[in-house]
Amino acid sequence: MKGWGIDMWGRLSLEALPHDIVTIGGVVGGGLAVLAGVAALTYFKKWGWLWREWITSLDHKKIGIMYMIVAVVMLLRGFADTLMLRAQQAVFGAGDGGPISADLFQQVFSAHGTIMIFFVAMGILFGALNLIVPLQIGARDVAFPLLNSISFWLFVAGMMLMNLSLAIGEFSTAGWLAYPPLSGLEYSPGTGVDYWLWSIQIAGIGSLLSGINFLVTIFTMRRKGMTLMKMPIFTWSVVGSMALVLWAFPILTATLAMLTLDRTIGTNFFTSDLGGNPMMYVNLIWAWGHPEVYILVLPAFGVFSEIVPVFSRKKLFGYKSMVMALMAITVLSFTVWLHHFFTMGAGANVNAFFGIMTMIIGIPTGVKVFNWIFTMYKGKVSFTSPMIWFMGFVVTFTLGGLTGVLLSVPGIDFQMHNSLFLVAHFHNMIIGGVVFGLFAGITYWWPKFTGFYLHEKLGKIAALCWIVGFLVAFVPIYILGLMGAARRLDSYDPSLGWQGLFVVAAVGVLIIGLGVVVQVAQVAYSIWKRKELRAPHDAWGGRTLEWYAHTPVPEYNFAVLDTVKSRDEFWQMKQENRFRSKSTLLPIELPKNTSAGFLIGMTAGLIGFAVIWHIWWLVVIGVIAVVGLVIWANLREETEFELSVGEILRHEKSMKRAGL
């Protein structure tokens, strides 16, 4: 037992501060950005506003917007990582040295993958779900508003831990999925893997809670008359995605917990000896990891299934087929995880089975592509920026589908596994599928929540930069894979002649970077010119209920809840001109603000930090605090407030007076 003076702060000491110039630069840059934000809030006296209107809010729309903001900031950080990786491989990889050491390079690609999946893609996804799903099913809120706030703040806590690793300690060097034994105590004794574990563990629990919340919301809170087969297709895609969250995230939680126990108290679940089995980890992490891909991509499919009919001014081709395809993908995505490690020595029967199951997923996915294309058939297609994203999506996603089928054949995968061909393939699916889909969705739904359009031309330029940049960045990566280049190389033999292609790839990333700059400019310019870009309730000639709500959407979403009669309800209402409500206005109950979500999230983050640094007394305090907070949050008596009929009427009138 050492004295308090030494032991009190566990492993934490001044040694944890960054030493190399690149990391210090990142910390200073990030720190300055945070300081600027704090200074601005103080100068404009906005702290109270931030607390009352945002941090403690349980309004699903505000939580959605906060998810979006955090995710977009993380996108910029993840993209900064990309620039470092590309610069290293294009400029310094063929020689020796350069400003990025092998160790730092490995931290950067581990952080890049972790951030992009957990804090960008998942963040934008949950942001979109929060904003759209309740409106689309004609509800006033999600099923569990407080749980929703807790989920969001757990996500933020994970994000903060992830970024704290830059300033205090280090990040994992074991890749975004941290296979043991590399991620075990023997080979990674530092705090890096612990940061990785706790940031995604905390964020992951938030995701699981959100999954439950949205499933319950969709199954129990749909507007009267909206049977399952009348549900908008985006909501269907969310059902698939959230069912996967519900089934897959517990696997992640358990797997991370076992690795945490291995690292923290010396158990042997995944060690090489003493009966541990690292192969079990690889199986478990992909039993979550493969469904995770579909958790992200199904809602992107849903977005395009909304956009294509609206901009073709025609109903979706083959709605039933689309629902069947979505559900087929949902179920099948649990039967393919082993294709991530055909080279781990399974027998030919096992490999062949998982290869064939993987190909089968290609069938419903292909059907969806044909249905989207035939939605344009005999329609009136206007090529707004969401449609440019759609065209780019079909081209890139189909190419990714082809390379995916190649990789699903074990005989071919033996040659391509862990090569840059694989890296190009999954970026093909994530960028071409998920990112394009989410950007299309943001452009499409933006006017609903802000009251103005995003500038169209800038949007089209950004989309083109992304599409062209993607192809220029990743076609050379595919070729390098065919040349036998492995992934994650901080250096390579210059005599192989790979450098030129790495330079082309870096140019491609710069083109994508230009797209990002244009997107930032687009948002800034659109806010500046918001009066000229003002949008009506029904910004695009929409078909689903969210376009029936006022713009911007009032806290209660809909004043009256009329029965739904058809699939494209709002389109039908417009066709039949039935806007006069038959319901009478009733008082509306809305959730009261509470700080419980924020406090629980931040305390969970503190527990993570304390375990990472072995500050055990703080862990104890944190756990007690979380339990206390949860009890307190549940004992609150007045959780809702009532909006009287008079107040609703006044609100409705004021919105009409504003010319909206």
Residues 458-517 that bind another protein (CB under 8 A): 460-461, 464, 467-468, 471-472, 475-476, 479, 481-484, 486-493, 496-497, 500-501, 504, 507-508, 511
Binding segment toward another protein, per CB under 8 A, in 69-77, 223-231, 248-256, 416-424: 416-424
The closest of 338, 348, 355, 364 to 236, measured between CA atoms, is 364
Q: Is the dihedral of CA 459, 460, 461, 462 positive or negative?
A: positive
Tokens of 303: 């977005």
Q: How far apart are CA 238 and CA 292, in angstroms?
A: 13
| Rounded Cα distance, 440 and 436, in Å | 6
Instruction: Select the span of 131-139, 292-300, 362-370, 613-621 touching another protein (CB under 8 A).
Output: 362-370
Of the two residues 541 and 646, which places its CB atom closer to another protein in the complex?
541
Q: Which is nearer to another protein, 378 or 582 (CB)?
A: 378
Query: Please, which residue, 488 or 534, has the CB nearer to another protein?
Result: 488
- 87, 167, 367, 625: which one contacts another protein (CB under 8 A)? 367
From the CB of 544, what's the least distance to another protein, in Å? 16
> Counting contacts by CB under 8 A, is residue 380 touching another protein?
yes
Q: Supply 52's token pair.
A: 């009352």
CB of 395 to another protein, least distance (A): 7
| x/- letters, 93..132, toward another protein (CB under 8 A) | ---------xx--x--------------------------
Residue 409 is which amino acid? V
Report, in Å, the least distance between residue 315 CB and another protein.
6
Instruction: Output the smallest distance, CB 44 to another protein, in A.
Output: 20
Q: How far is the CB of 504 from another protein (least distance, A)?
A: 6
Considering only 410, 451, 515, 608, the residue that binds another protein (CB under 8 A) is 410
Taking the C-alpha atoms of 456, 457, 459 and 460 in order, what is their torsion angle to the nearest 10 degrees?
A: 120
Using CB under 8 A, which of the segments 42-50, 455-463, 589-597, 598-606 binds another protein? Answer: 455-463
Where in 145-204 is the site for another protein (CB under 8 A)? 173-175, 179-182, 187
- Could you tell me how many residues of this chain bind another protein (CB under 8 A)? 111
Which residues, other chains included, contact 647 with Cβ-Cβ below 8 Å and sequence gap of 6+?
none
**Whole-number Å distance between alpha carbons of 573 and 47:** 43
278 binds another protein (CB under 8 A): yes
What's the CA gap between 86 and 508, in Å, rounded?
A: 10
Name the token pair of 202. Answer: 């905390």
Tokens of 227: 């049977």
C-alpha 390/C-alpha 383 separation (Å) is 10
Q: What is the closest distance, in whole angstroms, from the C-beta atom of residue 366 to another protein in the complex?
A: 5
Alpha carbons 479 and 185: distance in angstroms, whole number: 37
Interface map 383-402 toward another protein (x if CB under 8 A): x-------x--xx--xx-xx
CB of 464 to another protein, least distance (A): 5
Instruction: Give the ranges where 44-121 is alpha helix by DSSP (H).
Output: 47-49, 60-87, 102-114
Q: At residue 533, what is the residue type?
A: L
Select the residue interacting with another protein from 115, 297, 409, 600 (CB under 8 A). 409
Among candidate residues 253, 154, 136, the one with its CA nearest the CA of residue 210:
154
Q: What separation in angstroms does the CA of 625 have from each of 257, 267, 486, 600, 606?
A: 21, 27, 47, 8, 10
Which residue's CB is nearer to another protein, number 3 or number 347?
Answer: 347
- Residue 437: CB minimum distance to another protein, A: 16
97: left (phi over 0), alpha (psi -120 to 50) or beta: left
Least separation in angstroms between residue 323's CB and another protein is: 12
108, 132, 542, 569 from 310: Cα distances, Å: 41, 16, 6, 13
Contacts for 627-630 with beta carbons within 8 Å, 24 or more apart?
Answer: 629/596, 629/599, 629/600, 629/603, 630/600
First to last CA, the chain: 69
Query: Nearest distance from residue 165's CB to another protein, in Å?
Result: 18
Sole window of 51-59, 79-87, 412-420, 427-435 interacting with another protein (rule: CB under 8 A): 412-420
Amino acid identity of 568?
A: D
Q: Tokens in use for 64?
A: 């959605």
Stretch 514-553 residues interacting with another protein (CB under 8 A): 525
The smaller minimum CB distance to another protein, of residues 313 and 530, is found at 313
Least gap, CB of 486 to another protein (angstroms): 4
Q: In the stretch 340-359, what mask flags binding to another protein with x, by CB under 8 A?
A: -x-xxxxxxxxxx--xx--x
Q: From residue 292 to residue 331, what is the string marking binding to another protein with x (rule CB under 8 A)?
A: --------------------xxxx-xxxxx----------
- Residue with smaller CB distance to another protein, 336 or 610: 336
Binding flag, residue 87, another protein (CB under 8 A): no
Length of the chain measured in residues? 660
Binds another protein (CB under 8 A): choice among 373, 560, 620, 624: 373
Our finding on whether 370 is near another protein (CB under 8 A) is yes
**How many CB atoms neighbour CB 457 within 10 A?**
11
Nearest-CA neighbor of 92 among 482, 491, 358? 491
- Minimum CB separation from another protein for residue 228, in Å? 18
632 touches another protein (CB under 8 A): no
| Between 175 and 250, CB nearer to another protein | 175
For the chain, give the longest Cα–Cα distance: 79
Pair of tokens at residue 203: 């964020």
Distance in Å, CB of 444 to another protein, minimum: 17
Contacts of residue 292, defined as CB under 8 A and 6 or more positions apart, other chains included, come to 117, 244, 248, 252
For another protein, the closer of residues 231 and 501 by Cβ is 501
> Among 2, 45, 378, 531, which residue sits at the site for another protein (rule: CB under 8 A)?
378
Task: Enumerate the β-bridge partners of residue 643.
Answer: 588
